Every structure is written in structure tokens, then in C-alpha cells.
Amino acid sequence: MKTYVMEWGTHRLKLGPQTLVMGILNVTPDSFSDGGKYFQAEEAVARAVEMVAAGADIIDIGGESTRPFSEAISPEEEIQRVVPVIEALAPRITVPISIDTTKAAVAERAIRAGASIINDIGALRMEPDLADVAAQHNVPLILMHMQGTPRNMQVNPHYDNLLGEIRSFLEHAVETAEKHGISRSRLIIDPGIGFGKTKDHNLQIISHLDFLEKLDLPVLIGSSRKVFIRNILTTGNETELSPSHPLVETGTQATLAVAIMKGAHIVRVHDVANTCATARLADALKQATNGNEKT
């Protein structure tokens, strides 16, 4: 696997030999897994500090739910949710804080508050001005594939060529970012597990994740507690497992291990401690596999 090094401000991330773990912090009342749990700033900051202590390399803070069929909120409301948390958290941790937003105004305020990565699930389609914010502040930008919007993405998602269409979408998003003055060395791509995909789509993406190698960019994967895992693990007439059910976390770790073996550089997760253990083992297996191929 190719190694990428990102250096900006006071931060340096080495992506390749060791998989990086991004801890999810949803400052929302309605996210699918932990909505409302960390809605208060003090609780959110304590959770982020806990994740860093458990081994998180990045903390990803989002103030707007992007679960299927969710409604958008205003930039002002999103800013009110995330900025106080970032301002309180930034002096307490040394790892970079990522702002999970599609809005330029939110990203601008978040960066001024102490965030240093932009995670855009819209891949610049919702607000192209977001690219200008990333370029002006010279911060990394994550570009994710999504078919449609959170409100309609799970209404009969269809592809004629799943992997080819995702790769083309991300190629175009990268070109757009570069046209706005963002260096390719600041870009990360995400195939968007669960965003406009069926269970089979998600399984194909993870099991063939190396289809993104041609883009020559770091890859982030976000399968944590997604509904396709719950669907697979729910059998017979059982009620669908909740996102926080222990079996769902076990299933998450299985998807992450495969994704790492197939080339993921960053994994975005709710359970940092378990994921760090999975990543260490998967990285060791991957290195052993690569070493065997060279002999």
C-alpha cells in the first residue's frame, strides 16, 4: 500500500503503514446511532477526550444528522451546535479536529474555532464554496460519494456500474477541488458506505475497495454500525438489532478488517478502542501479506 503524508499547521498524518482511526462525535439530537447522547457541549468534549485517550487519530464533529430521510438544518443552527464544542475541545487535544459539514459558513466558523479538516459528504455538490474555505485555510478536505441527498438517497438506489460510477464521481470531485486551488496532497476520498447504497452495494464496495487505487489518494471508509450490518445480523422474525447492540459492533469490526486489508487508510467509527485493536491486527496481517508477495 502506498504511504501518504499530510502536513499542515501543527499537524502531521502518515497514512499507509498504520490505519488511522477517526472517532465520530455527533452533536445532534437525531443521529442514527448516538443522537442526543452528546448534544450538550460538556458531554461532547468529555467524549472526544475519551476517544483520544483510547487511540483516536482524528475527531470528527458533526452538528447535522445525515441518516437516511433526515431533514437539513440551517447553517446558524449547525454553527450553534458545533462551534462551542470545538472551541472547548481544541485546547485539550493534540489530534486534528474534523468538521463534518456540507456548508461553507459552518466550515469557516469551525476552522476559526479550532477545526483543521473538512469532511464533506456532498463532495462539493451542495456548496461549491466549501472548496474555497478549504483552499484559503489550506486544510485537508474529505470528498465522499453519495447518490442523491440524505433525504432521498435510500429511495431505490440503483447503479449500472457501481464501482465505475463511484470512481468517476470521485474523479470529478477531485478535479473540482483542484480547480478551486486545493492541492491534491490535501485530498482524501470516501466511497460513502450507506449513502445511496443497498446492502449488496456496500458489501461489494468493501470487498473490492482496491478499485479506488487508480485515483492515487488516501481512502476513508465509514461502515460503523450502518444498517446493512444490522440487516445481515438480524435473522428470522427478530426485531432489527439496534445500532449500539454488541453484535452490531462485532459486525462493524469485521467490515473494517476487510476494508483495511483492501486498502483503507482511515476508518471512521463510534467505538475507538475496539477499532484500534482491529486495525493493529489487520495492519499486521496486511504487512505480512505484502511481505510474502515480495519474496
Beta bridge mates, 119: 100, 142
On the question of pLDDT at 91 being above 90, the answer is yes
Is the pLDDT score of 32 beyond 50? no
Task: Report the CATH fold assignment for 4-235+247-294.
Answer: TIM Barrel (3.20.20)
String of DSSP letters for 72-112: P--HHHHHHHHHHHHHHHGGG--SPEEEE-S-HHHHHHHHH
pLDDT band at 70 (very low <50, low <70, confident <90, very high): low
Mean pLDDT of the chain: 92
The rounded distance, in Å, linking the Cα atoms of 192 and 158 is 14
Angle at 172 between CA 14 and CA 170, to 5 degrees: 45
User: CA distances (Å), 246 to each of 169, 221, 233, 238, 251, in order?
Assistant: 35, 20, 11, 16, 9
Q: What is d(CA 282, CA 295) in angstroms, rounded to the nearest whole number?
A: 20
pLDDT tens, 197-224?
999 999 999 999 999 999 999 999 999 9
Residue 174 pLDDT exceeds 90: yes
Q: What is the pLDDT of residues 238-270, one digit of tens each?
A: 778 888 899 999 999 999 999 999 999 999 999
Tell me whether residue 160 is exposed, middle or buried, using C-beta atoms within 10 angstroms of its C-beta: 0 to 12, 13 to 18, 19 or more. exposed
For the whole model, what pTM was predicted?
0.92
Q: Which residues are catalytic?
A: 226, 268
In this structure, the strands spanning 117-120 and 58-62 are unpaired
CA distance 136 to 139: 8
pLDDT above 60 (res 103): yes
Q: So where are the chain's domains?
A: 4-235+247-294
